[in-house]
Amino acid sequence: MLPVRRPHAVRDLRAALMELAGWLADHPEQRGLLLLLNSRLSAQRLEEEISSAGKVIQPALNSRLRVLELRERHSLRAPLEEAGLSKEEAAGVEKALQQGRVTRKPTARSPRPAAQDLIFEHLVNAYLLGMDPMTTESITGATGFTYPTVADALGKLGPSIRRHSDRRVELKHFPRQEWRRFISVYERGQFCRKFTVATELARTPESLLKRFQKHASPETAIGGVHAAHHYDPEFDLVGSSRLDICVSGKLLDRAPELARQVDPALEPASFSTANPALVIWPVHRAEPLFQHDPQSDTRWADPVTCLLALHDARLEAQAEELIEAFEQGGTRLRAGA
């Protein structure tokens, strides 16, 4: 995979780096090159962002990822060779450009977390939901990744993993150090989509929730504070300033359409928006682990996505309380749909 980007903003570069890291996680035999053409970012800012990304991307992935900044010209082969690529590699990049296999501008596809993070996410969900220990094969089926990729991810979690004599595995405890890194990855990756509305047109989160439920499907679920209240009746936050919903990853590119179904006045906003009215979170797992209430036909987002929303809303203390409620068995759980 040899994506070519013209990053005009830091978030474009971060998204491209995370997208390439995710692809490398799924293709352990490949190397990845992120070629930046005519970037408007300063050399110092590029170096800072690449160094920062290297701290959150797994070392095994980072060692196979390379970033090159070039000025676009008629032929790129010579500057690519000067940058250290072999003649064959430089020729391959140039050929891919000519044949259109490499995009010259950002693609519409939304970035997704790396395989290591998605597998970690599944293990944390299993721990919080009180699921039985799992075989590596069952994790591959739930996450959609290959056996070697899952085995590698389990190995990197080291002492946090309990291995049973029948080869099933589970988390020993809530892995707080790895969790902090995971939160950082999501903040940097900007994987969710945010929407705002003019003050004079604003609806309450409860009103948005009722409108969302009219369009809900098996591929969507309620998250954030509303899901926290569902899981933990003692959750100590009354009300919410926003609505968080969760969707199957393939629906994320339709986020604006989904938002308009909830409220036609909603408009896309930047990730840094302080007070969004609606936030849409993607799930990139084969098994979404939505919790289904058959009586009301309501689906609630998985615990990890719920916690991510709380952290994004700067409700860190409440997120910690919810984790403790899960660990102490004080939450209300139902079988996933």
Residue 249's pLDDT is 82
Domain ranges for the chain: 4-99, 115-177, 187-327
The whole-number pLDDT of residue 302 equals 95
User: How many residues would you count in the chain?
Assistant: 337
Question: Was domain 187-327 assigned CATH 3.40.1350?
Answer: no
Low-confidence ranges of the chain (pLDDT < 50): 1-6, 8, 74, 101-108, 334-337
Give the burial class of 102: count Cβ atoms within 10 A of its Cβ; 0-12 exposed, 13-18 middle, 19 or more buried.
middle
The answer to whether 65 and 20 have CB atoms below 8 angstroms apart is: yes
Per-residue CA distances from 16 to 6, 69, 129, 149 (Å):
10, 13, 33, 21
Q: What is the pLDDT of residue 106?
A: 39
Tell me, what's the pLDDT at 334? 45
| Neighbour tally for 121: CB within 10 Å | 23
What is the reported pLDDT for 102? 47
Quote the longest CA-to-CA distance of the chain.
66
* 333 alpha-carbon distance from chain centroid: 24
The pLDDT of residue 55: 73
Write the CATH number of the domain with boundaries 115-177.
Answer: 1.10.10.10
